[in-house]
Chains A and B, each alone.
Chain A
Amino acid sequence: AQRVTQPEKLLSVFKGAPVELKCNYSYSGSPELFWYVQYSRQRLQLLLRHISRESIKGFTADLNKGETSFHLKKPFAQEEDSAMYYCALRGSQGNLIFGKGTKLSVKP
């Protein structure tokens, strides 16, 4: 089965604290994984892809095939990071399969 699991519905941290948004996947084969973000009243937009191993807005995510995880991390959270975050897996038919999302709330 192809599946993305985001175990936390809500994650609340204080400004300056480290953040880790968890994502686990189920996929037979070589996975392609993405993180999307949806800020309040804005479109869903791509944050980063595992293929590019990039850091966007201070966020990074490393694919761990042994643990089938793709956790999103940031060492020091900012208030503007408050948003809904979705982990996504490209399925065998080429479509993106999304997790249920995690709402990140960064308190001042």
Chain B
Amino acid sequence: EADIYQTPRYLVIGTGKKITLECSQTMGHDKMYWYQQDPGMELHLIHYSYGVNSTEKGDLSSESTVSRIRTEHFPLTLESARPSHTSQYLCASSDVVTGIYGYTFGSGTRLTVV
């Protein structure tokens, strides 16, 4: 089924660990995004990509990095996790056509750094 998938759904990890949050979509969308959703539920764009080998930083400064080697895959990496990284991370995608209909969001990864 065409969809966008995020793994893991929940992650509890110790400070200093390296983590990668996975995001894959099977809709062939060229544009993908990472949002951080803070405890107050506000959404902030942290990274986006308009296609393979294209990545940009969003409005909210983030210590995370992303890569886009394949159209369907847009992983987010934290080299050294800290408690301040505790948040929910949402991945989304759109394309030139469906972009006018908005984004398709994944289920999110709730990250807790202890």
Q: Which residues of A line the B interface, CB within 8 A?
A: 32, 34, 36, 43-46, 49, 51, 84, 86, 88, 94-98, 100-101, 103
Measured between alpha carbons, how far is A103 from B39 in the docked complex, in Å?
Answer: 13
Known contacts A51-B100, A95-B58; A43/B42 CB under 8 A: no
Are the C-beta atoms of A96 and B107 separated by less than 8 Å?
Answer: no
Q: Which residues of B line the A interface, CB within 8 A?
A: 31, 33, 35, 40-43, 45, 48, 58-59, 90, 92, 99-103, 105-108
Measured between alpha carbons, how far is A44 from B41 in the docked complex, in Å?
Answer: 11
Measured between alpha carbons, how far is A100 from B58 in the docked complex, in Å?
Answer: 17
Minimal Cβ-Cβ distance residue in A for B56: A93
Cβ contact of B101, chosen from A44, A49, A94, A95, cutoff 8 A: A49
Are the C-beta atoms of B99 and A95 separated by less than 8 Å?
Answer: no
Are the C-beta atoms of A88 and B102 separated by less than 8 Å?
Answer: yes
Provide the main secondary structure of the chain B interface: mixed
Known contacts A43-B107, A43-B108; A98/B42 CB under 8 A: yes
Residues from chain B with Cβ under 8 Å of A46 in the complex: 101-103
Residues from chain B with Cβ under 8 Å of A36 in the complex: 102
Measured between alpha carbons, how far is A86 from B40 in the docked complex, in Å?
Answer: 13
Residues from chain B with Cβ under 8 Å of A84 in the complex: 41
Measured between alpha carbons, how far is A97 from B59 in the docked complex, in Å?
Answer: 9
Given A43-B107, A95-B58, 10 extra CB contacts under 8 A: A34-B102, A46-B101, A94-B31, A94-B99, A95-B48, A96-B33, A96-B45, A97-B45, A97-B59, A100-B40
Residues from chain A with Cβ under 8 Å of B108 in the complex: 43
What are 29 A-B residue pairs whose CB atoms fall within 8 Å in the complex? Answer: A32-B100, A43-B105, A43-B106, A43-B107, A44-B43, A44-B90, A44-B92, A44-B105, A45-B105, A46-B101, A46-B102, A46-B103, A49-B101, A49-B102, A84-B41, A86-B43, A88-B102, A94-B31, A94-B99, A95-B33, A95-B48, A96-B45, A96-B102, A96-B103, A98-B42, A100-B41, A100-B42, A101-B43, A103-B41
